[in-house]
Amino acid sequence: WLCVLLVPTLNFFYKLIPNYGIAIILLTILVRMLFWPLTRKSNESMKRMQVLQPKLKEIQAKFKDDPQKMQQETMALYREHKVNPMSSCLPMLIQIPVFIALFTVLRSAVELRFAPFFWIADLSEPENLFKGMIPFLPALNILPFVMAGTMLLQSRLTPSMGDPAQQKMMMWMMPVMMLFMFYSMPSALVLYWSVSQILAIVQLLWQRRKQALAEGGGTTPPTGDAPLSRQARRRLAR
């Protein structure tokens, strides 16, 4: 049913501005706007989780020989600070069916065949720049590199949780994996994902600025220790 909704929406935007590349960008903006409340809450929850990391490490060190007690204290800390560790995954999980529907539509839409957009001659195919012009070298696709770059930038802006070394590895691994996965995909799909990442970066920067202004005009949100409630201090002192 998502595919049934997406095709008329894409064609509606095309009627407003008769270019399917721009129609895909407008469709991407619409999808991001629909998910804006969930994404905002997810980013805020991840930020609170990042601030709580020193306290979580204290709990892990204190109850390392008692996993059950460690789990209880961790969940109690989450409740006191109104943090839901699963909320950061919710927007991504919800967007999976939307992305699958978009993949189906953008890959098979007859309207996109031979539809140009700037240097892209056919949105239903990879860019295939300089194809056959340079002997022994494959055609060049620029958009997948743009997409990977925006993913890397978003990862750097997103509050990190867990082991820093593992987070750094994932920050580089995911864009590289997506680059290889999307390199031969239709340009329309790569365009959608690239614009979606750019909009996510804009949202992160806006939330950072808003938080900095709320905290007194600082340039970056604090990442230090969060003040513990009285109940949390009592538990850690046991």
pLDDT of residue 180 exceeding 60: yes
Residue 238 maps to a domain: no
Dump pLDDT digits (tens) for 110-163. Answer: 778 888 899 888 888 888 887 766 666 677 889 999 999 998 888 887 766 555
Note whether residue 61 is domain-resident: no
Question: Is 32:196 a contact under the CB 8 Å cutoff?
Answer: yes
59 in a structural domain = no
By the 10 Å C-beta count (0-12 exposed, 13-18 middle, 19+ buried), 200 is classed as buried
pLDDT for res 21: 92
CA angle 155, 159, 161 (to 5 degrees): 100
Residue 66: inside a domain: no
Q: How far apart are CA 212 and CA 219, in angstroms?
A: 6
pLDDT at site 16 = 93
Q: CA–CA distance from 208 to each of 51, 223, 237 (Å)?
A: 14, 12, 34
Would residue 218 count as lying in a domain? yes
Q: Looking at per-residue confidence, does 46 or 145 come out higher?
A: 145
- Identify whether 78 is part of a domain: no
User: How far apart, in whole angstroms, are the C-alpha atoms of residue 86 and residue 42?
Assistant: 9
What is the predicted pLDDT for the residue at 195? 92
Residue 208 lies in a domain: yes
> How many domains in the chain?
1
Query: In a 3-state reduction of DSSP, which class is residue 189?
Result: helix
Task: Give tens-digit pLDDT for 165-174.
Answer: 666 777 788 8
- Averaging pLDDT over each range in 14-28, 56-70, 99-113, which range is the top one? 14-28
Assigned domain for 113 exists: yes
| Structural domain range at position 176 | 2-52+84-226
The answer to whether 156 touches 121, Cβ cutoff 8 Å, is no
Residue that the structure tokens 């804006």 belong to: 36
pLDDT at 223 over 50: no
Asked if pLDDT for residue 43 goes beyond 60, the answer is yes
Residue 92, pLDDT above cutoff 70: no
Percent of the chain with pLDDT over 70: 79
pLDDT band at 224 (very low <50, low <70, confident <90, very high): very low
pLDDT at 86: 65
Q: Write the burial class of residue 127 (CB in 10 Å: 0-12 exposed, 13-18 middle, 19+ buried).
A: buried
Average pLDDT rounded to a whole number, residues 67-81: 81
Flag whether pLDDT at 11 surpasses 70: yes
What confidence tens digit (pLDDT) does each residue in 181-218 have? 888 888 888 999 899 889 988 888 887 787 777 766 54
Structural contact between residues 64 and 70, judged by C-beta atoms closer than 8 angstroms: yes
b/e per residue 92-122 (b: at least 16 CB within 10 A): eeebeeebebbbebbeebebbeebebeebeb
- Burial of 78: CB neighbours in 10 Å, binned 0-12, 13-18, 19+: middle
